Structure 1
Amino acid sequence: MKPPTRSADFTKRSFKGFQRTSGLLQPQIRTVGEKRGFAVTRLLTHWAEIVGEATARIALPVNVSYAKDGLGATLTILTKGAYAPMLQADLPKIRERVNACYGYNAISKIRITQTAPTGFAEGQASFGPAPVREKPAPDPEMQAAAKKVAAPVHDDDLRHALEALAQNVLSRSKR
């Protein structure tokens, strides 16, 4: 038997130009999701859109377990202990939205699992967007040097752009 040639490998793949990242990652997301019981991976990838930003900040879907008799599944949601009562009040709304994602009444129960404020697995669970770091205030000496460099330019817009460029260049050389 002959080993496959290079041209045989190319016939398996279709080259249609650039592909979306979501299309390339979809098989990996599907396999990980199926291990946790998620038949619809959209629940994992679009959690914030499905349940809303406020709920997504305080809760994450962890697992979907199916009953033996086939009468609906149980969705397990992870949250910090202090948010559990607020989440408990929103369970009917969450169940309705998740079932809308599935397209049928797939989830019959939602179970809330609480964790420490840092999350389980030594803080690997994150419940919201990372805080935005503020830029440090520019050094007054650096600002003066940047103004001096751009001073001969008469056009205001160009002078401001050159000042910003000079500040960026001077701040990088200072590091």
Structure 2
Amino acid sequence: MARKPLPSPSSEHRMRGFEPAFGLMRDTVRAAGESRGFAVARLLTHWTEVAGEDMAGKTRPVKIGYGKGGMGATLTLLVRAAEAPMVQMALPVLKERVNAVYGYAAISHIHLTQTAATGFAEGRAEFTPAPKAVATPDPATQALARSTAEGIADPGLRGALEQLAQNILTRPRMKKDA
């Protein structure tokens, strides 16, 4: 009876021990990217590095479309309508950076699709603003909020009530016209 030879290492061979998470889903990401025209998945997965921090906050890559001749593709980006003029002025630099990822002049045009501030495409085009700085209330307000909720035994509920009391005590007061 002959033995079966050991399988040779291939792309389906799993590593022993720790394997990076992206390695587990590489083929799935590649198939999804190629269905939208992204032959190089790095353009999607590392958009912040490719476009730069400022430009990545204003744009999201949607698809790459190839013309009939096959020479030079069109990259479609989502951009908020209010920021579209500034992005339009920066397109030559952005095109150079994207082509640097490919290693040749793969992108000949960049098309901007304007969208609302919340975006569309099932949440894939979220444009998040910078987080707001939260001011800590003064110690007197914190003590008053703590004393308001001190009779509550449950620590989660007590913390929530303290936070609610702080929010009420620190909100701006509206003046009534009498």
Q: Is the pair's TM-score, using the shorter chain for normalization, greater than 0.5?
A: yes
Q: How does 1:8-157 map to 2 (within 5 A)?
A: 13-121=13-121, 124-128=124-128, 131=131, 134=134, 139-140=142-143
Residue 50 to residue 25, structure 1, CA distance change in 2 (3 Å): same
Contact 1:142 1:171 in 2 (8 A): no
What's the Cα RMSD here? 3.0
Moved more, 18-27 or 51-60: 18-27
Q: How far is 1:143 from its partner?
A: 7.9
After TM superposition, give the deviation of residue 15 of structure 1 in Å: 3.9
Amino acid in the other structure paired with 1:111:
H
Aligned residue for 2:111, secondary structure, equals strand
More helix by percentage: 1
Identity %: 49
Aligned pair in 2 of structure 1 residues 142, 130: CA closer, same or farther (>3 Å)?
A: same
**Per-residue deviation, residues 61-112 of structure 1 (Å, max 9, x unmatched):** 0000111112110000110111110010000000000000011110011100
- For residues 134 and 29 of structure 2, the distance between their equivalents in structure 1, rounded to whole angstroms, comes to 33
| Structure 1 gap ranges (5+) | 1-7, 145-169
Q: Which has the higher relative contact order, 1 or 2, with Cα contacts under 8 A spaced 6 or more apart?
A: 1
Question: What is the TM-score of this pair, normalised by structure 2?
Answer: 0.67
SS in 2 for 1:120: coil
- TM superposition shift of 1:22: 1.8
Cα deviation for residue 117 of structure 1 reads 2.1
Q: Which amino acid aligns with 1:35?
A: S
Tell me, yes or no, if the aligned pair for 1:60 and 1:78 is still in contact at 8 Å.
Answer: yes
Residues 36, 64 of structure 1: 8 Å contact kept: yes
- Structure 2 alignment gaps of length 5 or more: 1-6, 148-153, 160-178
Number of the residue aligned with 1:159: none
Cα distance change, pair 134–17 in 1 and its aligned pair in 2 (3 A) = farther
Q: 1:21 to 1:70 in 2, by over 3 A?
A: same
Amino acid at match of 1:33: G
**Equivalent residue number for residue 174 of structure 1:** 158
